[in-house]
Amino acid sequence: MTRYVLVGSGIAGFSAAETLRTLDPQADILMVSDDPYGFYSRPGLAYYLTGEIPEKQLQLFSKKGKLNLEVKQIIARVTNLDPIAHSLKTDRSGTLTYDRLLLATGASAVNLNIPGENLRGTVKLDNLEDIRLILSLVRHTRSAVVVGGGVVAVELVEGLVALGVKVHYFLRGEWFWPNVLGEAEARMIERHLAHDEVILHHHTEIAEILGKRDKVIGVRTTKGDVLRCDMVAVGIGVKPNKEVAQAAGLKTERGILANEFLQTSDPDIFAAGDVAQIFDPRSGHSSIDNLWYPGRKQGRIAAMNMAGQKQVYKRTVAVNVLLLAGIMTTIIGAIGSGRDDGPAYTTRGSSETWQQLPNTIATETGTDVSHLRLMVGEQILLGALVMGDQTISRPLRDMINAQVDITPIKPQLLQSDAQLGQSVMDYWIKTKS
């Protein structure tokens, strides 16, 4: 009987378990994770923080769910991997052996690395434990400083506002999420935040978190200004949890390197999800997605290869549909960077492929409440960003995924006027019929 060990109980580990169980009903499947809460929706955490959903809605399987019955689960931290002995050491369950191993260890929030970061009142939004901490502290929190650009930082801002906290939002650069959004797009978000009485501080970074009796009482900025607050929430980005793999001698770069079969440099070890930097033979790039659906698909494909069914992981265009400060936003494919403001970490809810942009021309149109940007390539659309009105999102997803030849409408698209969306819509209807 083959023994499969899966490290990580996130979406990548879970979809691998599900696939392995289906492919090999007799297999011995063991899932090891150091998250005591097991499998839950991480994108859902923000909605739990704002109070829009109860905690139990984060659990995607009931206690009686089939996986709970058919996959052994251990709560422990893997501290060491020996690929030659095919064994793992854990902090609580001794040594485990495997025939095939999946590393689906995800990514963790990056620290600010400044004095005061260990004070009570410094929080992040990475897992269920973090939300519980925020909710326990918030009763004694009148004002907070949130730092970081991207999905998680803005979710922290919105969550704290919903909890009645006065929020100061520190942005390192000229505008919000500059390595994904252009200025007009970011300003839409910022206007909404300002409307919710969030105080935005551009070009502002924290130098030190100030404390008294081990508790946060304020921050000192790099310019020397002091601002009083009871909480500092950090959402500056994530880094893949690749340390165990790296120490075991597996090839790593930003994440654990995996080929198109999701196999690492050791043939019996596979990687999937936020930790995996996967080679795409079509683009020639190895990149990381910090997205839920690619993680699910990678878990499934990794499991098929672990079970001996050779299957290539075909990257689809990376998409995220999300609410940013209440504005429905769809990001599709290569949208490049509006502007880069220095050491950018990958952020949750984004993909490195968004920045892989060959020759393109950006064309855009917008009003105060909606915005459309298209990245126009030689013959195809390579990416799009749609904010507000979402009528055009579906046609754009289809056209970018199917690499529809846009040569006949390219001159119209490059005119950058209010008809942009209509031109795409008309052409999509025409090409479909």
- Kindly list the residues in this chain that would bind ligand FAD in the complex (CB under 6 A): 7-13, 32-35, 42-43, 45-46, 77-78, 104-107, 125-126, 151-152, 155, 241, 244, 273-274, 290-292, 295, 320, 322, 348-349
Task: Report d(CA 277, CA 274) in Å as an integer.
Answer: 8
Q: C-beta of 98: minimal distance to ligand FAD in Å?
A: 14
CB of 105 to ligand FAD, least distance (A): 4
425: part of which helix (H) or strand (E)? Answer: helix 420-432
Tell me whether residue 38 or residue 218 sits nearer to ligand FAD (CB atom): 38
Buried b (16+ CB within 10 A) or exposed e, 257-291: bbbbbbbbbbeebbbbbbbbbbbeeeeeebbbbbb
Q: Least distance from C-beta 295 to ligand FAD, angstroms?
A: 4
Distance CA 245, CA 271 (A): 10
129 half-sphere exposure, CB direction, 13 A CA radius: 6
β-sheet bridge partners, residue 190? none
Q: Which is nearer to ligand FAD, 169 or 427 (CB)?
A: 169
| CB-CB contact of 48 with 140 (8 Å) | no
- Contact assessment for residue 109 and residue 99, using Cβ atoms and an 8 Å cutoff: no
Angle of helix 292-306 relative to helix 11-23, nearest 10 degrees?
A: 30
- Kindly state the smallest distance separating residue 342's Cβ from ligand FAD, in Å: 23
E strand intervals along 150-288: 166-170, 199-201, 206-212, 215-221, 226-228, 231-234, 238-240, 256-258, 269-271, 276-279, 286-287
Q: Please identify, using beta-carbon distances, which residue of 72 and 430 lies nearer to ligand FAD.
A: 72
**Closest CB to ligand FAD among residues 34, 190:** 34
**Residue number, 242 or 410, with CB nearest to ligand FAD:** 242
Residue 120 is classified by DSSP as B
Min dist. Cβ of residue 150 to ligand FAD (A): 9
For helices 393-401 and 420-432, what crossing angle results, to 10°?
60
Distance CA 405, CA 357 (A): 18
Task: Using alpha carbons, list the distances in angstroms from residue 264 to 86, 151, 287, 343.
Answer: 14, 29, 14, 27
Instruction: Specify the residue, 15 or 141, whose C-beta has the smaller distance to ligand FAD.
Output: 15
Least separation in angstroms between residue 274's CB and ligand FAD is 4
Provide, rounded to whole angstroms, the least separation between the CB of residue 316 and ligand FAD: 13
Q: Which is nearer to ligand FAD, 116 or 295 (CB)?
A: 295
Shortest distance in whole angstroms from residue 123 CB to ligand FAD: 12
Nearer to ligand FAD, 13 or 178 (CB): 13
Q: Is 106 exposed, middle or buried (0-12, 13-18, 19+ CB in 10 A)?
A: buried
Q: Decide if 324 contacts 151 (C-beta within 8 A).
A: yes
Smallest distance, Å, CB 366 to ligand FAD? 22
**Closer CB to ligand FAD, residue 150 or residue 421?**
150
Least distance CB 215 / ligand FAD (angstroms): 25
* Angle of CA points 244, 246, 247, to nearest 5°: 65
Cβ-based neighbour number of residue 56 at 10 Å = 9
CA dist 4 → 28, 72, 309, 313 (Å): 6, 11, 15, 20
Q: With respect to ligand FAD, which residue has the nearer C-beta, 105 or 356?
A: 105
